Structure 1
Amino acid sequence: MGLFSRLKTLVSSNVNDMISKAEKPEKMLNQLLIDMNEQLIESKKAVAMAIADEKKLERETANQETQAKEWERKAMLAVQAGKDDLAKEALLRKQEYDKAAAEYRKQWESQKTSVDSLKESLRDLQNKIEEAQRKKNLLIARAKRAEAQQKIQDTISSVSGNRSAFDAFDRMSAKVDQMEAEADASKELQDLSNNTSLDRRFAELEKSDSSADLLLQDLKEKMKALPDKS
């Protein structure tokens, strides 16, 4: 299993565990980003080591090729000096270095291919972490809004389900209606009583005035009937 495959498995395991235990999305997201960045740091270290190995293989390949060229130069010197036996020995040494250089080059090219792939995977991982960082605040805002909506809905459900409170309001409303009706009735009776009393007083007054008129009239008639003493 490669470096990033292990990283993916580890991150997936951590995420699934965190999500199943999460109570606060904000806390979970922050912790998730911390874990991802820690894994990114470890991945960078591993890639850096792979790059160092690749550079080491590159240098060793170059060194072997340089040694091969050097023994070839010595073989030419031996030939020029008429020492073919020495030239053969030099060529055998050159052959050894050529073989070693070919092996190192093969290892170096393979390591370089792996390093290029690791670099690409590292860039992809870093881009995804940066994207997760950008999305974090949006996810937190959405979570808070959902939480607030849930609280409101719970409150509405709680109030709607409390029939005793609504019944109490209905009973109080009926009581207030009754009190207002009784007050209106009392006022109406009082007004009726006041009107009756006033009518009675005027009737007595009119009766009193009519009786006095009659008495006065009788007196005047009586006086007319008396002999004139003048």
Structure 2
Amino acid sequence: MGIFSRLFTIGKAETNAAIDKLEDPIKLTEQGIRDLKLDLDKSLQALAEVKAMAIRSKRDLNDHKATAQSYEQKAIMLLQRAEKGDLDPAEADRLATEALTRKEEATESAIRSEEEVQRFETNISQLDANVKKLKSSITRYENELRTLKARSRVSQATQKINKQMSGIDSSSTVSMLEKMKEKVAQQEAMAEAYGEIANESKSLDDEIDSALDEKSFKASSSLEALKAKMKNKEQ
């Protein structure tokens, strides 16, 4: 699967149940980004190599132009010397012809170098566009990966909570509360029963003392004694 096809698959991961079952979208995205970075490294290397060839072709172009110009100047100088009588005209013509031949060769080499420069410039433009596209894609997918990881953490936490909530049986909880109420009511009833048993187990003396209420009896006797004492003082 090509890198862009894999990344296209990642973009469809949310709606593609088969992909969700077969591959982890996060791991798939991470692998896609690693593949993109490898492609970026290769593209940068290729770009550097093509730029280096373009630089050499430009140098060759300048050298061939300079060589052609130099041979043309030499041919002119040879003819000038022949006109001044410093050089045999036939020899000057021969040498000038050779110089012009070398000039034509240099000119043809310059033309080829210029074509190479243009071709390299086109390649550089294409490679540079690919590098920029890869860098943009890497940045975009890294941002999407961060978002995907955050969403994954939230969904996992939500799934865990929902799973825990789904495991709670409301009917069993209500049943447990009813049992607790019944148990508490039973305990209260038992406490009341033991209280009644305690009252029933009082002795006869306890019942007599309770009936006479000794404290009230003593208080009444004291009150009568106090009244009698006050009456005697008045007399």
CA distance in 1, matches of 2:205, 2:155: 72
Please give the residue correspondences for 1:31-46 in structure 2 after superposition, counting only pairs within 5 Å.
31-46=31-46
CA distance in 2, matches of 1:172, 1:129: 62
1:99 aligns with 2:91: no
Q: 163, 170, 182: which one pairs with 2:189? A: 182
CA distance in 2, matches of 1:45, 1:86: 47
Please list every run of 5 or more consecutive structure 1 residues that lacks an aligned counterpart in the other structure.
Answer: 1-8, 207-230
Other-structure match for 1:23: 24
The amino acid across from 1:23 in the alignment is D
Q: CA RMSD in A?
A: 3.7
The aligned length equals 195
- Cα distance, 1:48–1:190 mapped onto 2, change above 3 Å: same
CA distance in 2, matches of 1:11, 1:94: 51
- Cα distance, 1:114–1:203 mapped onto 2, change above 3 Å: closer
Other-structure match for 2:117: 108
Aligned residues: percent identity?
21
Does structure 1 retain, via aligned residues, the 8 Å contact 2:47–2:124? yes
- Residue 149 of structure 1 deviates from its aligned partner by 1.9
CA distance in 2, matches of 1:22, 1:198: 90
- Residue 144 of structure 1 deviates from its aligned partner by 1.8
Other-structure match for 1:49: 49
Other-structure match for 1:72: 72
Please list every run of 5 or more consecutive structure 2 residues that lacks an aligned counterpart in the other structure.
Answer: 14-18, 83-91, 214-235
Deviations 1:149-206 (A, max 9, x none): 22112211222xx355325413422432432342244145346536897884348879
CA distance in 1, matches of 2:76, 2:203: 153
Other-structure match for 1:143: 152
1:90 aligns with 2:95: no
- Residue 80 of structure 1 deviates from its aligned partner by 1.8
- Cα distance, 1:67–1:204 mapped onto 2, change above 3 Å: closer
- Residue 50 of structure 1 deviates from its aligned partner by 1.6
Other-structure match for 2:16: none
- Residue 108 of structure 1 deviates from its aligned partner by 0.2
The amino acid across from 1:10 in the alignment is G
- Residue 148 of structure 1 deviates from its aligned partner by 1.4
CA distance in 2, matches of 1:179, 1:129: 71
Other-structure match for 2:4: 12
- Cα distance, 1:203–1:79 mapped onto 2, change above 3 Å: closer
- Residue 101 of structure 1 deviates from its aligned partner by 1.2
Normalization by structure 2: what TM-score?
Answer: 0.63
Does structure 1 retain, via aligned residues, the 8 Å contact 2:69–2:103? yes
- Residue 112 of structure 1 deviates from its aligned partner by 2.0
Please give the residue correspondences for 1:144-159 in structure 2 after superposition, counting only pairs within 5 Å.
144-159=153-168
Does structure 1 retain, via aligned residues, the 8 Å contact 2:36–2:138? yes
